[in-house]
Each structure stands twice: as structure tokens, then as C-alpha cells.
């Protein structure tokens, strides 16, 4: 019998309404490779694609080739999943379409309108999905991400040592998921790194690399030190929560095991705002001390800033960024964004109940660069602030001065890669648009450019079919609405309100096919 043909696509659309991908942004997604690795390569034919890396997927021949289309993506990707599904069914009426990810758990009922399978479980469900469609017997003997199906690279390779997070920040998708932290077996980590082949940097994609028992963290450090000394990789990096830095021993262990640096969720230098975000782990010691101690240990430190215009005045935020850019002892932020009340998070429930979500809000607007809530400052001032973030909030002269002083301070402390990585933030802060995936052909200052106001943002060309689409699929190109004209929960989301407004976040769902549970 012919092998089942499976196309796995990671969907994405940029916060600038982009129509091209960017393979240089770090990190990249390996979700398609992880899903593919659950299956026996001798029993299936698999192709992978990633819109984050390569831009909008428009390979109609691949859609005609596939028997099963599996779609994944973060929350704002829901519209894109619908659009790809419409294209797939137009050129291949017999194709089976499955979707998974956070919104499969947040919006199980709505998702069933558009997709055959709604997969609300972890990656291992891929086997149940394929067996349900094609019959049993497709599981891989030893699941392992299919790095061989990804673009070749000797610079960066991605692995995971755990899933989920043990903290519950009010705005975080992990809080909405409300899933228990789970650490992987050390042998599994070893196999993943061996499967990569030599990479200059191995990046862990864990939501919290420091989560779990401290004894397990120590064992992980010992394993990485062993592999580093064997020359398996040139260095490694990971995302850690602020409690990691409470002990100087952790930095020493990381350094001797080949660590290059970390990303950590600073979000704000204000203790008041950190408390509002429920980031208790960030209150253990001052943020600037954490960053400086990491850099002085020879490890680069990356972070982002999250602005909440409902709780913070713009003048306060400008004072915070002035403090950062005047301090060469710390890195500049890697990105700036607005707090997103993601579906299912405590922040979403609070903002909805308090009537702070803007009317006619669409899920597409929840991109971190559009206003989606009523700000404490006048709306005109908030829009101007959002536009400034888009073009460069920090003065280029001050950014250049910070970069020079940072270089002079840490040129003998950080490694070459670490120093280059830290200085790259100066470029990101000066030219934020260059780090995006494009502007869908719209140039700043021209009619049709961004409004920065949720509910009125231009949707871009992705919301227009690329080919002739049967009328029954025209609705796939309509944006998913979050609020109605009165700022209340939109009717399309009412059936999923129980999972969207749970105090603790998300709810696990049972995968279904046309309303029938998948085993």
C-alpha cells in the first residue's frame, strides 16, 4: 500500500502584516520536526514547512500531494490556519486537515467549524491522529525530532529538555494552558543533541530551563558539561526564569558546561508592574543586578520589555527606557511589546470583565504591537507611542553610545559570540522593522499604513484568496473576532467561554473528528 503523505505546516503572520519570512530571527520553530519525529519514517512520507521562516505557504502542488495536512501555530495564527485550509480544500477536496496548538485547547468548539481534527493534546497525539486517519501502526520506535527535514545549519540547533512552566504570569500563554511542568529524561536530551550533529550553539526551547527539581538541574548541567568537553557543540543557550540567578553557583555551573548566555523574562524594571503581572520570581532581586551579574560571569543576557498601557503611563515607560539606555552595565532589550491579554489568560478575563478590551477587536490584532485595551493615557498619545515603538523608541544616538560603552565594558568578559549577540540588540532597537517579516508591501506614511489601534488595523493581502475558492470557504478569510461592537465577548467565542474565562487558564480537550472522539 502507498504510504500516507503528510504535510506539516507551522503557520504564522507577522505583526507588521508581513508577506515574507525571516530565517535569521532566533529562535525558529521546530514544532513540525517534533511532530514528524513521532512517526515511523518507514511508514509515512512527510514534508515540513514553516511560514515563520519562509513566509506565506503557497505551494499548491504540495497541498495537492498531501493526504493529511497538519497545522500548528501560536494564537494569532488561527486566521492563517483557516486560510491555508481553504486553499488546500480548493485544490485537493479529499485532503484531511488537522490543527493543534494553544487554540485547539482554547477554542475547541469554534475550531471544529473549520478543521476535521482538533488536537488539544501534546505532540505525542500525532500518532493517534495518523492512526485514526490511516489505521494503526505509525508510531516511531524512538520519537526524535526530524532535523533532517529542516534546513541544514551548523550554527544553531534547537532541542528541548522540558515542557511548560511552573510559574503563572498573568499574561502568559503558558498560564492559559495551565499544564504541569514536565522534565525530559537525560538520555532523551543526549539523543537530541547527538541527532543534531555539531552546532556552534545548541539552543534549548524550554519555557523554563530551570524548572523542576534542583537535583535534576544539576544532572542536566553535568550532562551538558560532558557533551561540551566531548566537542558535541560550541556552546548552548536557554530561557530561564529569574529565580535561576538567585544563586551564583548556577552561573558558574552554566559557564563551565559551555553556556553562552540566557534569555529571561524581565518584562519590566518596575516592582509594581511585576507584581501586577504576577511575576513573583522577578521580585527576588533587582532586575539590573541580575543582568549585570550574568554579564560579569561571561554570559550574555537577553530579555524583552512588556508595556501595559492600562496600568502604566507613557511618561513612566519613557523614563524606564531612558534608564536602560543610559546604563552600559546591562544589555538593551531584544524587543519591546505591549502586554497581550491572550485568550484564556487571567489578564484576558480581567480586561474583559472590566470592559477594557477595545470594541471590534480581532485575534489578529493581539500581536503585541497594536493597542487592544483602553489606555490610561489619551488614546491619541497611546497611538503615537505605538507608532514610535514601530520606528524606534530609543534615540539612535543614545543607542550607539550605549553600544560603545557596553563593548568597552564587556569586550574581555564575554565570548565573541556573546558580545556580538549582546550588541545586536542595539540594531534591533534602532531599526525594529528590519527584524520583522515585512510590511505586506505597505510603506510607512502612505495611505493604508498601520493604525496601531485594534479593530481598525489593515488586514493585509493574506486575507484575500490567492486562487479561486469555492463560496463555502469564503468565511475562512474573515478575521476571528474577539469582541463585538460593545467590547463584549464576540458571539463566535461564546461556546468556548468556559475555557477562555477559567480563573487558572486553559482546559485540556479531547481530540475529535467531526464530533467523534479520537482515541
Q: What's residue 279's pLDDT?
A: 92
Q: What's residue 394's pLDDT?
A: 93
Domain spans of the chain, in order of start: 5-144+507-517, 152-168+172-319+330-335
Q: What's residue 445's pLDDT?
A: 46
Mean pLDDT value across residues 389-399: 92
Mean pLDDT value across residues 473-494: 96
Question: Is residue 502 pLDDT above 90, yes or no?
Answer: no
**Of residues 192 and 499, which shows the higher confidence score?**
192
Beta bridge partners of 50: 10
Helix (H, G, I), strand (E, B) or coil at 14: coil
Q: What's residue 509's pLDDT?
A: 36
pLDDT-derived band at 441 (thresholds 50, 70, 90) equals very low
Cα separation, 519 vs 510, whole angstroms: 9
Question: Is residue 399 pLDDT above 50, yes or no?
Answer: yes
Question: Is residue 14 pLDDT above 80, yes or no?
Answer: no
134-148, 403-417, 426-440: range with lowest mean pLDDT: 426-440
E strand or H helix at 31, and its extent? helix 31-36
Question: Is residue 474 pLDDT above 80, yes or no?
Answer: yes
pLDDT-derived band at 519 (thresholds 50, 70, 90) equals very low
Mean pLDDT value across residues 37-51: 96
Mean pLDDT value across residues 258-277: 94
11-20, 174-183, 254-263, 382-391: range with lowest mean pLDDT: 11-20
Question: Is residue 234 pLDDT above 60, yes or no?
Answer: yes
Q: DSSP class of residue 365?
A: G
Mean pLDDT value across residues 113-135: 95
Q: What's residue 435's pLDDT?
A: 55
Mean pLDDT value across residues 48-76: 94
**Of residues 435 and 483, which shows the higher confidence score?**
483
Helix (H, G, I), strand (E, B) or coil at 159: strand
Q: Residue 278 class from Cβ within 10 Å (0-12 exposed, 13-18 middle, 19+ buried)? A: middle
Helix (H, G, I), strand (E, B) or coil at 198: coil
> What is the second-level CATH architecture of the domain 5-144+507-517?
3-Layer(aba) Sandwich (3.40)
Cα separation, 216 vs 226, whole angstroms: 15
Q: Within 10 Å of residue 110's Cβ, how many Cβ atoms?
A: 17
pLDDT-derived band at 19 (thresholds 50, 70, 90) equals low
Region 152-168+172-319+330-335: CATH code: 3.20.20.70
Q: What's the whole-number average pLDDT of the chain?
A: 90
Amino acid at each position: 500500500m502507498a504510504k500516507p503523505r503528510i504535510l506539516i505546516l507551522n503557520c504564522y503572520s507577522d505583526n507588521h502584516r508581513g508577506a515574507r519570512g525571516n530565517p535569521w530571527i532566533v529562535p525558529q520553530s521546530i514544532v513540525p520536526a517534533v511532530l514528524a519525529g513521532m512517526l515511523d519514517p518507514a511508514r509515512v512520507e512527510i514534508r515540513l514547512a514553516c511560514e515563520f521562516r519562509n513566509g506565506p505557504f503557497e505551494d499548491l502542488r504540495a497541498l495537492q500531494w498531501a493526504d493529511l495536512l497538519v497545522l500548528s501555530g501560536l494564537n494569532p495564527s488561527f486566521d492563517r490556519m483557516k486560510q491555508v485550509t481553504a486553499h488546500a480544500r480548493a485544490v485537493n477536496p479529499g485532503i484531511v486537515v488537522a490543527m493543534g496548538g494553544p487554540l485547539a485547547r482554547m477554542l475547541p468548539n469554534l475550531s471544529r467549524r473549520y478543521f476535521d481534527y482538533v488536537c488539544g493534546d501534546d505532540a505525542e497525539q500525532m500518532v493517534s491522529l495518523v492512526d485514526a486517519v490511516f489505521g494503526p501502526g505509525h508510531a516511531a520506535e524512538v520519537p526524535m525530532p526530524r532535523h533532517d527535514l529542516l534546513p541544514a545549519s551548523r550554527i544553531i540547533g534547537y532541542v528541548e529538555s522540558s515542557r511548560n512552566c511552573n510559574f503563572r504570569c498573568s499574561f502568559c500563554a503558558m498560564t492559559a494552558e495551565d499544564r504541569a511542568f514536565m522534565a525530559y529524561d537525560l538520555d532523551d536530551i543526549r539523543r537530541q543533541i547527538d541527532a543534531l550533529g555539531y552546532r556552534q550553539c545548541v539552543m534549548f526551547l524550554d519555557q523554563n530551563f530551570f524548572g523542576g527539581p534542583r537535583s535534576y538541574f544539576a544532572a542536566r548541567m553535568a550532562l551538558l558539561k560532558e557533551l561540551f568537553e566531548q566537542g558535541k557543540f560550541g556552546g548552548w543557550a536557554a530561557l530561564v526564569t529569574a529565580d535561576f540567578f538567585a544563586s551564583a553557583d548556577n552561573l558558574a555551573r552554566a559557564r563551565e558546561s559551555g553556556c553562552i548566555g540566557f534569555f529571561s523574562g524581565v518584562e519590566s524594571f518596575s516592582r509594581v508592574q511585576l507584581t501586577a503581572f504576577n511575576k513573583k520570581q522577578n521580585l527576588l532581586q533587582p532586575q539590573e543586578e541580575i543582568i549585570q551579574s550574568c554579564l560579569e560571569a561571561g554570559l550574555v543576557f537577553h530579555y524583552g520589555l512588556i508595556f501595559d498601557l492600562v496600568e502604566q503611563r507613557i511618561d513612566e515607560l519613557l523614563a524606564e527606557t531612558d534608564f536602560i539606555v543610559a546604563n552600559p552595565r546591562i544589555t538593551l532589550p531584544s524587543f519591546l511589546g505591549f502586554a497581550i491579554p491572550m485568550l484564556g489568560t487571567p489578564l484576558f478575563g480581567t480586561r474583559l470583565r472590566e470592559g477594557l478590551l477595545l470594541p471590534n477587536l480581532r485575534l489578529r490584532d493581539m500581536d503585541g504591537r497594536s493597542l487592544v485595551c483602553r489606555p490610561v493615557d489619551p488614546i491619541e498619545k497611546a497611538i503615537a507611542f505605538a507608532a514610535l515603538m514601530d520606528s524606534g523608541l530609543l534615540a539612535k544616538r543614545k543607542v550607539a553610545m550605549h553600544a560603545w560603552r557596553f563593548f568597552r565594558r564587556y569586550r574581555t568578559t564575554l565570548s565573541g559570540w556573546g558580545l556580538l549577540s549582546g550588541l545586536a540588540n542595539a540594531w534591533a532597537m534602532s531599526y525594529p522593522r528590519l527584524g520583522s517579516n515585512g510590511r505586506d508591501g505597505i510603506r510607512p506614511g502612505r495611505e493604508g499604513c498601520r493604525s496601531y489601534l485594534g479593530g481598525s488595523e489593515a488586514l493585509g493581502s493574506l486575507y484575500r484568496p490567492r486562487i479561486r475558492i469555492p463560496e463555502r470557504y469564503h468565511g475562512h478569510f474573515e478575521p476571528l473576532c474577539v469582541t463585538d461592537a460593545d467590547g463584549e465577548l464576540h458571539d463566535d467565542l461564546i461556546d468556548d467561554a468556559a475555557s477562555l474565562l477559567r480563573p487558572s487558564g486553559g482546559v485540556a480537550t479531547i481530540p475529535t473528528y467531526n464530533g467523534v472522539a479520537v482515541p
